[in-house]
């Protein structure tokens, strides 16, 4: 065990107990994964790896899927007691996805926490790159996909740059000091700067 994590094959095993936020994300992903692929990004990456801070939303990249497929996913989420901020029908919600606009889901009768779904396609080069280069992490029996650690750090430092983002990046640099590779920063920097 090194600093709260270990590596098993290509999966980072995080040594901590599951929280109520983890269970919320896990329940949502259990439904989503039946219908489409995903990548968890931003603040939850730092929280999942042990940073203690609150968050109201969990950011998730997913590829644009046909309206019919999204309709099946939407009905499955509704059946499992999740609601969408943007509307109650596919006709209301799907135009957001088609136009690459974010949508949010929360548990029925709740507003926070929520899952912010960020639709992507190949034109969103930076996001598409991280989406197609996932890193698996596991907390107890909860396995999920996040960007490469070095990518997440640089994205927070170079693109987001807010106080919370820089603190998240610092946490990741410290927590994974024995894992991160300097050459990866050089590889990812020009890809991340495409988003500027």
Question: Top-level CATH class of 5-193?
Answer: alpha beta
What DSSP element (H or E) covers 32?
helix 20-32
Digit-coded pLDDT (tens) for 31-69: 999 999 999 999 999 999 989 888 899 999 999 999 999
The full set of domain ranges for the chain reads 5-193
Could you give the strand order of the β-sheet that contains 11-14, starting from the edge strand earlier in sequence?
A: 5-8, 11-14, 135-139, 142-146
Digit-coded pLDDT (tens) for 132-190: 999 999 999 999 999 999 999 999 999 999 999 999 999 999 999 999 999 999 999 99
Distance CA 169, CA 47 (A): 11
Distance CA 146, CA 28 (A): 15
Burial label for 39, CB within 10 Å (0-12, 13-18, 19+), is buried
CB distance 62 to 117 below 8 Å: yes
Please give the pLDDT value at position 1: 41
């Amino acid at each position: 065990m090194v600093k709260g994590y270990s590596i098993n094959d290509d999966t980072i095993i995080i040594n901590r107990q599951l929280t109520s936020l983890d269970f919320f994300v896990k329940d949502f992903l259990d439904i989503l994964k039946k219908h489409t692929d995903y990548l968890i990004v931003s603040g939850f990456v730092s929280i999942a790896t042990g940073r203690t801070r609150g968050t109201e939303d969990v950011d998730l990249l997913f590829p644009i899927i046909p309206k019919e497929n999204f309709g099946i996913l939407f009905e499955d989420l509704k059946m499992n007691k999740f609601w969408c901020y943007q509307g109650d029908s596919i006709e209301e919600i799907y135009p957001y996805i088609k136009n690459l606009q974010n949508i949010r889901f929360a548990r029925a009768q709740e507003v926070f926490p929520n899952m912010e779904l960020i639709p992507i396609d190949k034109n969103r080069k930076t996001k598409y790159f991280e989406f197609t280069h996932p890193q698996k992490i596991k907390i107890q029996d909860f396995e999920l996909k996040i960007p490469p650690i070095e990518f997440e750090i640089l994205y927070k430092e170079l693109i987001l740059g807010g106080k919370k983002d820089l603190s998240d990046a610092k946490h990741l640099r410290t927590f994974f000091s024995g894992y991160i590779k300097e050459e990866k920063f050089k590889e990812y920097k020009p890809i991340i700067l495409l988003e500027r």
